[in-house]
Structures are given as C-alpha cells and as structure tokens.
Structure 1
Amino acid sequence: MNKKLSVLFAIALALETVIPSLLFSVKAETSSKNQSQAVQSSVKPQVSFDPPGSGKPDDSAGGASRGGGCPQEVISTGGCVIPLIPSNREGLTTTGHPTFFIYLPQNSAQEVFFSLVDENNKNIYQTKIPLTGKSGIIQFTLPENAPALEIGKNYQWAFVAIRQQGLRPDSPGIQGRIRRIETDSILMTQLQNITPLERAALYGKKGIWYETLASLAEARKLQPTDADLVSQWEQLLKSVGLEAIASQPLLN
C-alpha cells in the first residue's frame, strides 16, 4: 500500500470512529432537551392574586360589606348572596365587557336583577338573569350590545335577587366596584397563544382580579375533573376572604 492510500485509509478509520460518536452525542443532547421541555410543560402554573398597590386585601371589612347586610355568621355558612371580589369590593379589569361572579344560596328567587352605573351614578346597563334555584356560583358577562366600560373610569354593579313578590327595597343583593385599565403592550404580548390557566396566573400577578377569576373559571370548564384546578380555584377564593364559598360549584 503506497503512502497516499495509507493516509486515506487512516482518515477513513478516524471518521468511522468519530462520526458515530458525534451523532450519539447530538442525539443524547436533543433527547435530554426534549425531556426537559416535556417536564417543564407538564408543570402547571400556580394562580395567586397580588392586589395592586402594597399589601394584601383588607380582611377587616364587616359582614354587611361582603353580603349586602347579611350577618357575618350567616355569611360564614354560605347563606347569603356573596360577590366574588376582594374584601374591599373593588377590582380591576382590562376588558370593556367583563365577567362578574356571585354566589347564590338555594332560595325561592327565580331571577337576579343586574345593574351597572358609572361614577356619576348614570345607568349604563341593566337586565334580568334567570335562575335554576340551585345553590352555587353563577357568572354573567356584560354582553357585546351593552356599552363597553371606558378605560380609566370607575363603575358600580349590583345583583339583586327577585323573589315572588318582585323587586323590593329589602330584596337580598350585593354591590361591587370595577375599574377598567389599559392593557400595556408587554401584557398583550404575554397573553398571546397561552392557555386559560396561564392567563389566570399572569393576570393574578398583575393584580387584575376580574380576568384572573374568569380565566381560571374557563380552565375549570375545559377540564372539570382536574383536581389541581379545583384546588387552585379554592385557594384563590380563600386568599381574598371567600372561604365560606370556596368549594361551591360553578353553575354556568
């Protein structure tokens, strides 16, 4: 074998040894990366609510503020109409047509009257919502044909249970406040192509209550048997002082 052939033969042997090794290394690295991504994707985001401003929600609000005049001992057993909002009865939203949640105990009411007024007490929208008579949490989304909430403005909403005698001054009801804020460009980018649970976690960190709750409710409806989502829902409600109704079912 001449010198040139010997060199080529040596190179061939070297390549035969090195190339499989390199391929194995690349394959192992790719497999490890895929496994890491799979583990990361299987870890569910945890939803928590960070109120805007400093500190946690004020839990010193009395029973009347949480349940429209209902005694605290009755509220603690889930026997009153209760709004699903922080204890200061205020919350932020980024949408012009937000979703509201309230808890209704089992009662004789066949409808709930909903009203929305602006900061000048001007009526914005009102409607009646039919009930099934079941005890649980109902939600109501401001319809598209209703005037949209304006950015930077405060509104007050109310739900009043209508019984057989009709709408009366002593009809059980509750009130809450809502303020629409502008969605910044960073948040808009982060909200693209993510799951409802991921949205809930993101909104919660931003202190945007109404979308936190609505997104987590959406996640629960998509996976109603997911125990982790049920647990996260209950923990979220407990974190704002709603222990009494944290385990109540979502009715719609």
Structure 2
Amino acid sequence: MTLFNVLFAQTPLEFPKRFCRCTALGLVIALGALCFSPTLAQAEDDQVRQGLPGRRISGASRLPTSACAQNANPLVAIVPETNLGTTAVAEPTLWLSVPKVTTAKQLEFRLFNAQDKIIYQTSVTVEPTADLMGLDLGTMTNAPKLEVAQRYRWTASIICNSNNPSENISVEGWVDRVDVSNPGGTGSGSIDLWYDRLGLLVEELQRQPHNQDVLSQWETLMASARLDQIVPLSVDADSVDITLPITVVEPD
C-alpha cells in the first residue's frame, strides 16, 4: 500500500490536547491498567457476538462517471467485524478510511443514542489529499460526551450529489463507552478498547511511519477486523491535514 494522509475533524489548537490525551492513555495502557479479567469477555451479549446491523464498508460509486471519487475505493468505518468498538474516554475519535475525492466534499456525521434518536449531527470537509479521517468528538462544537455503559450508533456520509441521496456514500458503526476504573462493574463488558488502541496506533504511525513494530501492530489490528485488504497500512507523518467541522445542525 502507498503512504496516505490523515484528516482530523479538529482545530489546530486542539491537536496538542488530543496528543496529550492519547499520550496519557498510552501510559495507562503501558502500566496495564486496561487489562481486564478474561471472565469479562463472557459478559458480552449475543447481539454483540453475532454482530450489530449496519454497513461498515460502503459500496462502490454507482456511476463510473461520478464526480465524487477518483477511484472505486469504498468509504470504510474502521470498526471491528461485529460493527461495535469500545472506548474508555467520553470523547473518542471515530475513524474512517475515505476514497480519493475529486474535489473537496461534504461529509455528514450523525450520532444516535440507545433509543436510536439523533443526539448530534455536523458536517466536515473531506479533502482530496486525505485517505484517513478522524472524527474527534472532543473538538466538535457542542458534541455530547458519551456516557458509561451506553451504546451509540454513528453514521458518516460523503455527499456526492445533494439532489440525489442515492449517490451518496455512507457507512455506520457502533461504540460502547466502558468504565475501566471498575473492571468488575457492569460497564466494562469488553477487554478490547478498540477506538483507543486505534487512535494510539495512528499517532504512532504518524511519528514513526517506518517502525516495523508499529506497522506490525497496525496490520494485526486491521487483519483482526478483516480490513487489511481495504484500509491502507501505513501513514505519511508529513501529510497531516487538519480541518474544522463546517456546520453544526441541531437535531430535532
């Protein structure tokens, strides 16, 4: 795979805060604070084991002459094969692998609560230079903090044709917020903090794009989600594009 760029939905001023947050989390992981008892895996319900509904990998563009993308690569919600990932933080970053757009395109992001009600929506810009996009809830204006022991659904759609939604490219994923300070509690039903581990690896690859140990960890993580043949496996540390949400739409 070729090197690719990373697009964050956050402000330049917020990037140091994001870096500090992930660095602190990395230290916690190194100290083993995120290691749960194997018996906790048995607490996963049947729905999680069988997988949650939704499409994490979009279909190819419907029209070969579409002005939306330069290639047939799909939009991908980078989540496990079950469509559900967990996080220990209230404002995680949700990750997308995006196709090469011909020109800057609008991407609509929506977050739903356990009752499937929209609790937040906004729009960000997908630039032609980006292949990986981080939707950082911590830097999105008025984005809610995820509550412990709650499940959320999120969707992302690249607007290819505002007059014909059927041409838009869409994916969705799920996220559970867990309480790592209480491994025996009901809020920590998973041993794998997917979103947190994913974010740390992206940042490590940005700093050390040729570090074979980090590359191996990234490839292993993508393979575990059966995304290793779809998502690029290296990061260009010199090509980080930072952007802002361009619109915040209040849910009804």
TM-score, structure 1 as length reference: 0.60
Tell me if structure 1 keeps the 8 A contact 2:81–2:225. Answer: yes
| 5+ residue gaps, structure 2 | 1-29, 31-37, 62-70, 185-189, 241-252
- How far off its partner does 1:225 sit? 3.3
What does the per-residue CA deviation read over 1:24-62, in whole Å, with 9 as the maximum and x for residues that have no partner?
xxxxxxxxxxxxxxxxxxxx9xxxxx9x7369x979999
Equivalence for 1:87: 81
Q: Is the 8 A contact 1:58 1:87 kept in 2?
A: no
Higher strand share: 2
Give the deviation of 1:135 after TM superposition: 5.4
Q: How many residues align?
A: 180
Kindly report which structure 2 residues correspond to 1:1-252, keeping only aligned pairs within 5 A, or say none. 53=41, 65-69=55-59, 79-108=73-102, 110-134=105-129, 136-143=131-138, 145-165=142-162, 168-184=165-181, 206-250=191-235, 252=240
C-alpha RMSD of matched pairs (Å): 3.6
Q: Measured at CA, do residues 116 and 70 of structure 1 come closer, stay the same or move farther in structure 2, by a change above 3 Å?
A: same
CA 1:186–1:117 in 2, change beyond 3 Å: closer, same or farther?
Answer: closer
Query: What percent identity do the matched residue pairs reach?
Result: 24
Relative to 1, partners in 2 of residues 1:60 and 1:141: Cα closer, same or farther, differing over 3 Å? closer
Matched residue, 2:22: none
Q: How many angstroms does 1:164 deviate by?
A: 4.9
Q: Structure 1 residue 244: deviation in Å?
A: 1.8
User: What is the CA-CA distance between 1:122 and the residue it aligns to?
Assistant: 2.1
Gap change, CA 1:95 and 1:167, over 3 Å in 2: farther
8 Å CA contact 2:161, 2:168 repeated in 1: no
Could you say what secondary structure the match of 2:122 adopts?
Answer: strand
User: What is the DSSP-based 3-state SS (H/G/I as helix, E as strand, rest coil) of the residue aligned with 1:67?
Assistant: coil
**Structure ranking higher on relative contact order (CA contacts 8 Å, 6+ apart):** 2
Structure 1, unmatched stretches of 5+, are: 1-43, 45-49, 72-76, 188-204
* In 2: Cα distance, 1:100 partner to 1:179 partner: 12
Amino acid at match of 2:77: P
Aligned residue in 2 for 1:30: none
Shift of 1:100: 0.6
SS at match of 2:203: helix
Once the two structures are superposed, residues 122-173 of structure 1 have per-residue CA deviations (whole angstroms, 9 ceiling, x without a partner) of: 2222111112113522111103542101111111001100125367244111
Please state whether the residue corresponding to 1:220 is helix, strand or coil: helix
Q: Is the 8 A contact 1:233 1:246 kept in 2?
A: no
Post-superposition shift, 1:233?
0.9
| TM-score, with length taken from structure 2 | 0.60
Whose helix proportion is higher, 1 or 2? Answer: 1
Q: Using the alignment, how far apart are the partners of 2:151 and 2:51 within structure 1?
A: 23
Tell whether the 8 Å contact from 2:56 to 2:173 is kept in structure 1 after alignment: no
